[in-house]
Structure 1
Amino acid sequence: MKKILALGLVSLSLSATLAQARTFVGIDAGYDRGSFESTNGLAKKSYTGFINAPAEGWNVGINVGGEWFFGEYVGLRTFLGLGYGQAFAQANTNLHVLDVNLNFDIMANVVNTGSFSTGLFVGVGAGFGIAAQKLSAEALVSMNIPIYGRAGITFGLGEHSRIDVTAILPILSYNMIGFMGTDAETAADMVAAGVPGAYNPLRFNVGYKFLF
């Protein structure tokens, strides 16, 4: 009987702890800059070639997920994202970049007044992305399965708003290279500029999330 009561108390305690579970929808946008990886494994080229990177561009995305705070200062969140952007390469080639991703963050509030909070977060994500000269698959340049780190600052504003400033940092990359629909001259220019391969950039984004 005592064990049953103890389990009941633990269940009630956990329910109270997880009372701050929230769902959210969000949007983000930012700048990216990077190189094209032609080998699989550690995404070293994203960092060693950052200054003279062959491509840079912009990205926008939407996301939906949930967050769980254990008390006022420590929390977790996970969300599914869908993104689109453009990368401008040195070979005068503009690429459409699309990706879908799943992310997980650990959050810690440094300040929490109830109506305002400031915190830090670190996390990891993985997904699937493509880079193409056209939105159809007929001019596909690369497909990429990246694993990346996430780090940033988060601001809670009132009951329903959160603003994130995020750095997305490549860790691993698996890519499939292709030139479907690309003429020989364009492909040669792209090879010379280091375009073929997985576009696995560093990203610096600002995002807004509405919490329900």
Structure 2
Amino acid sequence: MTRLTTIQGSALPLPIDNLDTDQIMPKQFLRVIDKAGLADGLLYDLRFDESGEPRAECVLNQRAYASARILIGGANFGCGSSREHAVWGLQQYGFQAVIAPSFAEIFYSNAMNNRLLLVPLARDAIDALTRSAIESPGASLSIDLDQQTVSSASGERYAYTICARHKRMVIEGMDTVDLTLDSLAAIEAFEQSHFVRHPWARVM
């Protein structure tokens, strides 16, 4: 897995608070047995009308944001059910990061476990980045994963917090199994010392 230290690209503004996973990935797109094709379902009801025609007013259908790699969302992004398909759909659509004031807890874990970076920033910073994305479509944002900063094209720079475990997982492309295997030597050493102290506990 390639080490990921920088995410850079244009941003798509979607300042909707409490955008839940049923909106991000509607239930009719959960019938697949693999991850393929989920980009088609991403935010379907926002993107298309009842007859399946694209909504011209939807930012996701506007040419200026077609290559956006960073989504700027509202508070409590990803609330609702725990469906991991919401994360996969965002990634398949082309997003590598979501910046928002806050995230639902389960969605946050699902995203980080799948290497979709979630960046929490204060509301005033989100408002500034949203205005910039609306006023200057295509303007680039840069996320430095090592330094934990977001930098705009106009020079603003914002620091964000992330736990060491999730930071490592996103940068190095690790999942929870990889983390466990990385500690295998320590696990085996603990196991041996445990059975030395408690030999009756070993199952023969």
Question: More strand per residue: 1 or 2?
Answer: 1
TM-score by length of 2: 0.20
TM-score by length of 1: 0.19
Question: More helix per residue: 1 or 2?
Answer: 2
